[in-house]
Amino acid sequence: MSDYELYEDDEPYIVVEQHSSGVGPLLLGIALGTGIALLFAPQSGADTRRLIRKKAREAKNTVADVVDEVASTVTDGLSRAKEGVEDRIDSARDAVELKKRQISRAVRAGRDAAHEAREDLEFRIAETKAAYKEN
């Protein structure tokens, strides 16, 4: 699929697809790495507990970073979407105002034409009556 697609209103849109593995595989990798390290590292219980605490802190920090990044991405996307919607609303309002002005001018022109036609018709009727009375 291309980055540019045409929708019903024939305006080009840029479609950006972002794929992310998510937090699940990250946590799984951390857990597997910690488990393998515990199995193959000959350490005392205190050292092992210290290592587990350290890895847990690292995992917590990594998850916090991922959450912050996702929140930032979502916030940016919402901001861009909001700006796009506001732009479309503004242009729709402008189009409506333009049509209102055009219709108003057309109505005024129609009234003026009808008034002139009525005056012309009344004048012709008066002429016809006068000519009829003379004959």
Q: Does residue 111 form part of some domain?
A: yes
Q: Does residue 85 form part of some domain?
A: yes
pLDDT of residue 100: 95
**Residue 129 belongs to domain spanning:** 21-134
Residue 75, pLDDT above cutoff 80:
yes
Q: Does residue 1 form part of some domain?
A: no
pLDDT in tens, 22-68: 677 777 887 788 777 777 767 777 887 887 788 889 888 888 888 89
Taking residues 91-115, what's their average pLDDT?
A: 95
Instruction: Output the furthest CA–CA distance in the chain (Å, rounded).
Output: 135
Number of domains in the chain: 1
pLDDT of residue 11: 62
- Count CB atoms within 10 A of the CB of residue 55: 16
pLDDT of residue 93: 94
Taking residues 81-85, what's their average pLDDT?
A: 93
Q: Does residue 119 form part of some domain?
A: yes
Q: Does residue 4 form part of some domain?
A: no
